[in-house]
A and B are shown apart, each in its own frame.
Chain A
Amino acid sequence: MTVTDAFIHPFPKGDSTLQRMAMTARECGFDTLIAVSHHPCECHGVRILQGVIVFDGTMKAVTNTIRQKKRAIIGVAAGDATFNRSVLKTRGVHLITNLHRTQRNAFDQVTAKLAAEKRIAVHLDISQIISCRGHSRQKVLARYRELLILQRKFGFSFAIGSGATSILEQRTVREMILLTELFGMTKEETITALGTLPDLFEDTSRPRVVS
């Protein structure tokens, strides 16, 4: 079973190179990393997958990215309910991210059902729990708890990531389990969430039989 850290931001965005982050990830118990704006490769026994996050909030940007980055894991930053539903209906999107920044109704039972149907994962950024303090951290934890309730009911996948820009922000698998426990996730759920993304990627990257 793979253990994936969904979205790391190596040098030049961060202060650590991809190779160094791969080394740290291996020490932390990960075997796959999704690096934003880096080509797929293998470093120090860790499989690196290319990741792209679309922050634009328009469907045009989403479809353009899908067309241009065919071999990448595509994440889309969530917006309002209409945008999220359109994203979930788009083939080629692998996960929806930044849901902690959206309104409560932006991801409801309809969108949750759609995410489960279309096999699109919901990204949980652990760095938000670490870096935020006070009210903003409470909001993130409350939002993640709501998403967990929806996930248990409708069965869509979660993808967990450290969102690290430095080796100092990477966390071990055990630490991930402890941090996800803060919003009620069990150890088994966390381990499943850490392994889902490469499977979803394999599924959509295979050629489709049209008829």
Chain B
Amino acid sequence: MKHLSPTLRENKRYVLTSIMPSDPDCEIRELYYAVADSITSLYGDCIAAEMHAATILLEGEYLILRCRRGWERELCCAIAAIRSINGRPLRIITIATSGTIAALRKRIRPQKAGHPITCTIHGMEYCGIMYADGKIDLIKRDMKGQELVYLTKDDMEKFHATTTKPDGI
């Protein structure tokens, strides 16, 4: 079978995005459904079909999406309108757009290393991750389920939090 000549091939654009919180805990299929749902809800089925969006790669917190050339602004807007996946709050931030996946791969940075911490605030125990830039993501677990709290190192001092690392120090 003969390949389609380059002039007849559909031109694609690739969008590099990053997912917040950095440990998304969801599959690429779920992300695809969230993006497709957001596009349909914002622009309708006709534009969604025209845009031809797809998820290409999920690498840590980074996700690469694909769309037909000329529709990248609409795709980025639909991405900005996503606020949760399966009830879990999340944010997808557009980082860059390119015509090749290789160019986007160069922009992927190694995942931010964070160390697990356990702390006590006002008598309640929390566990979470502390990042090198001073950001702390704490998980509050109670009878209702679990809830994430986002704070910084300075806030911990304000809350008089006592932190312990997993090694007990």
Binding site for B on A (CB under 8 A): 11, 15-17, 19-20, 23, 129-131, 133-134, 137, 166-172, 174-175, 178-179, 181-182
Q: Which residues of B contact A17 (CB under 8 A)?
A: 150-152, 155
A174→B148 CA distance, assembly (Å): 26
23 inter-chain pairs at a CB distance below 8 angstroms, sorted by A residue, are: A11-B149, A11-B151, A15-B149, A15-B150, A19-B152, A19-B154, A129-B81, A130-B83, A131-B83, A133-B41, A166-B150, A168-B20, A170-B91, A171-B80, A172-B93, A175-B80, A175-B94, A178-B73, A178-B76, A178-B77, A179-B81, A181-B73, A182-B77
Q: Which residues of A contact B135 (CB under 8 A)?
A: 20, 23
A11→B150 CA distance, assembly (Å): 9
The size of the chain B interface, using a CB distance under 8 A, is 25
A24→B154 CA distance, assembly (Å): 15
Q: How far is the CB of B36 from chain A (nearest CB, A)?
A: 14
Q: How far is the CB of A17 from chain B (nearest CB, A)?
A: 4
Chain A proximity mask over B63-89: 1 for CB below 8 Å, otherwise 0: 000000000010011001101000001
Given contacts A23-B135, A175-B80, A178-B76, contact A134 B154 (CB under 8 A): no
Binding site for A on B (CB under 8 A): 20-21, 41-42, 73, 76-77, 80-81, 83, 89-91, 93-94, 134-135, 147-152, 154-155
* Cβ–Cβ contact A16 & B149, under 8 A: yes
Q: Which residues of A contact B73 (CB under 8 A)?
A: 178, 181
- Which of B41, B83, B94 touches A169 (beta carbons < 8 Å)? B83
9 A-B pairs closest in CB distance: A175-B80, A16-B150, A178-B77, A168-B91, A17-B151, A19-B152, A17-B155, A20-B150, A168-B89
A140→B169 CA distance, assembly (Å): 52
Q: Which residues of A contact B80 (CB under 8 A)?
A: 130, 171, 175, 178-179
A20→B21 CA distance, assembly (Å): 13
A129→B147 CA distance, assembly (Å): 24
Nearest chain A residue, comparing its CB with the CB of B21: A168
- Which of A16, A166, A174 touches B94 (beta carbons < 8 Å)? A174
Known: A15-B149, A137-B41. 9 other contacts (CB 8 A): A11-B151, A15-B150, A19-B154, A130-B83, A133-B41, A172-B94, A175-B80, A175-B94, A178-B80
Q: Which residues of A contact B152 (CB under 8 A)?
A: 17, 19-20, 23
Nearest chain B residue, comparing its CB with the CB of A134: B41
A17→B95 CA distance, assembly (Å): 25
Given contacts A19-B155, A168-B20, contact A182 B150 (CB under 8 A): no
A174→B147 CA distance, assembly (Å): 29
Q: Which residues of A contact B149 (CB under 8 A)?
A: 11, 15-16
A167→B89 CA distance, assembly (Å): 10
A129→B41 CA distance, assembly (Å): 11
Interface centre among B73, B83, B90, B91 (most CB of A within 10 A): B91
- Which of B20, B21, B81 touches A130 (beta carbons < 8 Å)? B81
- Which of A131, A169, A179 touches B77 (beta carbons < 8 Å)? A179
Q: How far is the CB of A44 from chain B (nearest CB, A)?
A: 8
Q: How far is the CB of A5 from chain B (nearest CB, A)?
A: 14
* Cβ–Cβ contact B147 & A168, under 8 A: no
